[in-house]
Amino acid sequence: MLKTNPNNPERGKIGRAAAIIRRGGTVAFPTETVYGLGANALDAKAVKRVFVAKGRPFDDPLIVHISHMQELYGLVKNVDARAKILAEKFWPGPLTLVMNCSDIVPRITTGNLDSVAIRMPNNKIALALIEKAGLPIAAPSANLFGKPSPTSAHHVKEDLHGKIDAIIDGGKTRIGVESTVLDLTFKIPVILRPGEITRDKIEKAIGKIKVHSLVRKKGGARGKMIARAPGMKYKHYAPKAHLIVIKKSANFWAQVRKLSSNYAKNKVGVITSKNSRDRNGFIVKSLGRNAKQAAKNIFRIFREFDRSGVEIIISEGIPEKGLGMAVMNRMRKAADRVL
Ligand code: TXA
Ligand code: MG
């Protein structure tokens, strides 16, 4: 565990972590969204270690992280005008661009696809690590496959202790949900995963785009659409407890009582955007006042409920505006039922 100052990362610590990456090891590090589990993106053996540590299926592609615009040109077939505008405007930042992949990227990194997902994270530790390693770093979120993404080094340790070579602890992540994934291999770009860079912001920069229909569907989707949205066929981000999301309800607490009637009260977790004082004996956690706070809190709350042995979680939905769309996407993918 390398505790590092997020505002002014110590060179010695970044150097040690970069050396691990350079010799084919795995290092978890903070980004502005969630913690990532990094390895040399161009080394098939190193990338395999990431899949194995997470227990991640090999058809779920990784995101390649870069620290300079020039690195992009080596990784993809061509950088079109849209990619240039978006990179200029949003990098470093929480926008991942999917583009046609060059031959230097091993296919294990891309889940055997001919496209590769790339982003430049807006976090000093992440940028220093990539720069010092001198390589693009493949990094999925640093959680066990299917679990909530980690927003602190402690969450990473909880899932991956003993399975990876190092963790850089740079404190809590700023945003709390993963980057927006935008597929640029289509004529009209498609959002595959919503994040802080919203559809509106992207459309202001490059004109009309689409949102993939699976974004608003519950986890574990099936059918032919999955071929175009790798990684989206799995249930993600999920706590151990049975999760029910109530999108809108005139009487939320009446619904909670009804849905939890077969459980002991101390086995019921409730997530609401209102205050977090105990209500009716249930364990209640607050998402916060707005979408920004909800994004920051959602994965931490799932993990806390897991630790306290809750068996059912009932969560209130939030409006799907701005970051709210990303939060609701993660809730749906984690949910057993959406009402
Ligand atoms: O914010 C983030 O993006 C975080 C931090 C660590 O950077 N990373 C992250 O990675 O969330 P991960 O592996 O948990 O999510 C990667 C997802 C895949 O599951 C898939 O949906 C999409 O990105 N993806 C990656 N490569 C793709 C490709 N070639 N085509 C389509 N989707 C792709
Ligand atoms: Mg993930």
For the ranges 130-144, 241-255, 263-277, the lowest mean pLDDT is seen at 263-277
Task: For the chain, give the number of residues.
Answer: 339
Task: Please return the burial class of 219, using the count of CB atoms within 10 Å of its CB with bins 0-12, 13-18 and 19+.
Answer: buried
Q: Is 98 in the pocket of ligand 1 (CB under 6 A)?
A: yes
The whole-number pLDDT of residue 224 equals 46
What is the DSSP pairing of strand 63-65 with strand 137-138? Answer: antiparallel
- Which atom of ligand 1 is closest in space to residue 63's alpha carbon? 25
CA distance 185 to 116: 10
The whole-number pLDDT of residue 98 equals 98
- Which atom of ligand 1 is closest in space to residue 177's alpha carbon? 1
What is the DSSP pairing of strand 190-193 with strand 27-29? Answer: unpaired
The whole-number pLDDT of residue 185 equals 97
Q: Is the pLDDT of residue 112 over 70?
A: yes
pLDDT in tens, 125-171: 999 999 999 999 999 999 999 999 999 999 999 999 999 999 999 99
Range picked from 231-235, 270-274, 294-298, 307-311 for highest mean pLDDT: 294-298
pLDDT in tens, 58-110: 999 999 999 999 999 999 999 999 999 999 999 999 999 999 999 999 999 99
Chain-centre distance for alpha carbon 78: 26
The whole-number pLDDT of residue 210 equals 97
Measured in Å, residue 55 CA sits from the centre of ligand 2 at: 12
Closest CA to 133 of 25, 33, 50: 25
215-222: average pLDDT: 73
168-195: average pLDDT: 97
**What whole-number percentage of the chain has pLDDT above 70?**
95
Helix (H, G, I), strand (E, B) or coil at 270: strand
Q: Is the pLDDT of residue 227 over 70?
A: no
- 237-273 burial, b at 16+ Cβ within 10 Å, e below that, comes to bbbebbbbbbeeeeebeebbeebbeeeeeebbbbbbb
How many helices and strands in the chain, by DSSP H and E?
A: 10, 16
pLDDT in tens, 202-211: 999 999 999 9
Q: What is the mean pLDDT of the chain?
A: 94
242-246: average pLDDT: 95
Of the listed ligands, the closest to the CA of 97 is 1
224-234: average pLDDT: 57
Q: Is 38 in the pocket of ligand 1 (CB under 6 A)?
A: no
Q: Is the pLDDT of residue 231 over 90?
A: no
Helix (H, G, I), strand (E, B) or coil at 44: helix
Q: Is 260 in the pocket of ligand 1 (CB under 6 A)?
A: no
Closest CA to 219 of 327, 302, 324, 335: 335
From 101, 181, 183, 234, the mutation candidate for ligand 1 (largest count of ligand atoms within 8 A of CB) is: 181
- Answer for the pair 196, 219: CB distance below 8 angstroms, yes or no: no
CA distance 131 to 218: 38
Closest CA to 290 of 324, 265, 262: 324
Q: Is 239 in the pocket of ligand 1 (CB under 6 A)?
A: no
Residue 231 falls in which region: left (phi positive, over 0), alpha (psi -120 to 50) or beta: left
